[in-house]
Chain A
């Protein structure tokens, strides 16, 4: 493996990891603050991708499609939280697992009804539809660099909100002791709705910007969900920092795993998880 090829893989791993972070951060926020395990999180990623594909086709503009799709995703999160999750906060994880599993079946099938079972793709939008010429026969997509930039910027925003704002203080306090936060007069009910909608919007947004990079297919949310579970377990549940480093680690491991040891590539991330569980059962950053 020469240096340029190595560099490209490094960038690919970083880009995939950063995308995973967007999805996993929503997952870990929703669990950390609300105590809800949301299996339907992956389905939201899929819906984000399909929404953008559909809207791009109708409007002819990828950026406009994203602009419209984001409020739709937020609204969907709001509806789900108010309609279903509201009754589950005081109940065991088992019921959350089952209810959100039911939601997956409903959302996956709704996707089939609305958009059908075909595989689609979205063209890489201008002005990023170019490639950088790295060496004679190696190129790198500008759009991938753009995705990285957006993910990093969002990671920065999340970090800033959690570290330096009043809302962030409430979120951090809520992750430690929800009852106490409520006792101090914070409207936890509203906070939960906000967190869930933001979490859903983050994963749907990840699906949107990933749309030009992946094939948009039924069930695409399922595999990403499980990968994100691995990320969250490695990083420590409820920890944004953990989600970030966990996502980068898994992104790199997936990319290099499929290049270096293709026969075991599908297992690598689980082996890493097993290793982490052996050493730190609560995750690296918990």
Chain B
């Protein structure tokens, strides 16, 4: 991946962050009575952005195309739903570590199996393990089956007797999600620039060479898989707080496909791209859903068009605008811009 971006990337992202962060100030003036509804939508976009960003660590940075990332998203949601007491709010002080621990253990177990596979096998096995949990949950009595579980109270964040944050307040929750997204972004930027991130970069470009250099690449990939899983679970927990329920659909492979779609729409391997992708996807979805009941056709065609026309996503356009591409250092050939190598038969057949 690219570690230094043109200055305009930082400028655009800061400007967008400022616009979003000040929404409570200008939202009512622009959207009037719709402001509360829009705030909820934006909160959801922030959560999905965190989810998409976590997948970027796997797909864009390491080159592991996971089609089962919703497993961890849903796991975060269900952990919150099932561990919450029925008649009182849970404390975020232990709920957050619990969600992270459950996701880490699950990612470790699943990761140890799927890391053994490569390329198309990895795609298929991540998909299959995601569906395994999906079918397990949607046929389980304790998890509410296909109906899912309702969460009566959002977790609270208190210190002693005083509430630090009132997460039931939509504005507070909005800033809470924004804060976690920014924290997640900074963490991933730091991680990808660290020594660990450079090894991941090397694995992305040529895993055999990294092995020849003496790196135990499987271990690095596993750690990346666990980190991505934990981040996705945090996003899933936030989503469950936002919706007020955990539902099997959050685990299903359509969710995995959608988040992959956000990633490609925004531009993978850039960390900031998936944030734009999550917003773009949700806005498109909103528009399509209002245009026709047959919106999946429009969304499907959009995905196909994005793959054919815009393989590097919105971030690719920002980093290297087509109208000034010559001036940019970001000039990989079409094939090299994709994670891993183009499909070669000798490797997998």
Q: With A237-B120, A267-B132, A274-B113 in contact, is A105–B300 under 8 Å at CB?
A: yes
Residue among A93, A110, A177 with the most chain B CB within 10 A? A93
Apart from the given pairs A94-B264, A101-B260, 14 other A-B contacts in the complex at a CB distance below 8 Å: A35-B344, A84-B308, A97-B65, A97-B67, A99-B308, A103-B304, A109-B294, A110-B297, A178-B345, A222-B253, A226-B253, A229-B127, A270-B129, A271-B132
In the assembled complex, the CB of A50 is this many whole angstroms from the nearest CB of chain B, namely 16
The verdict on A99 contacting B121 (CB below 8 Å), with A91-B335, A270-B128 known, is no
Looking at the assembled complex, report how far the CB atom of A276 sits from the nearest CB atom of chain B, in whole angstroms.
10
Contact B349 A102 (CB under 8 A): no
Query: In whole Å, how far is B229's beta carbon from the nearest beta carbon of chain A?
Result: 17
Query: In which size bucket is the chain A interface?
Result: 35 or more
Stretch touching chain B among A67-75, A161-169, A277-285: A277-285
User: With a CB–CB cut-off of 8 A, which chain A residues contact B114?
Assistant: 277
CB atoms of A270 and B116 under 8 A apart: no
Q: Are A108 and B119 in contact (CB under 8 A)?
A: no
Per-residue contact bits, chain B 108-139, to A (CB 8 Å; 1 contact, 0 not): 00000110110111011101110110011001
Chain A residues 78-130 with CB under 8 Å of chain B are 84, 87-95, 97-99, 101-106, 108-110, 112-113
The answer to the question of B257 belonging to the interface, with a C-beta cut-off of 8 Å to chain A, is yes
In the complex, what distance in Å separates the CA atom of A174 from the CA atom of B345? 8
Which residues of B sit under 8 angstroms from A101, Cβ to Cβ? 257, 260-261, 303
B294 touches A95 (CB 8 A): no
Interface check B12, CB cutoff 8 A: no
Query: Is B311's CB under 8 angstroms from A95's CB?
Result: yes
Chain A residues in 8 Å Cβ range of B116: 277-278, 281
Chain A residues near B340 (CB-CB < 8 A): 92-93
CA A106 to CA B236, docked complex, whole Å: 27
B299 within 8 A of partner (CB): yes
Q: Given A37-B120, A91-B342, verify A32-B307 contact (CB < 8 Å).
A: no
Q: Which residues of B sit under 8 angstroms from A200, Cβ to Cβ?
A: none
What CA separation (Å) do A215 and B58 show in the bound complex? 38
B302 at the interface (CB under 8 A from A): yes
CB distance from B285 to the nearest CB of A (A): 12
- 1/0 per residue, CB under 8 A from B, across A256-271: the answer is 0000000000110011
Q: Is A233 an interface residue (CB 8 A)?
A: yes
Q: Are A98 and B260 in contact (CB under 8 A)?
A: yes
- In the assembled complex, the CB of A233 is this many whole angstroms from the nearest CB of chain B, namely 5
- Known contacts A93-B343, A94-B339; A229/B113 CB under 8 A: no
Verify if A238 is at the interface (C-beta below 8 Å from B).
yes
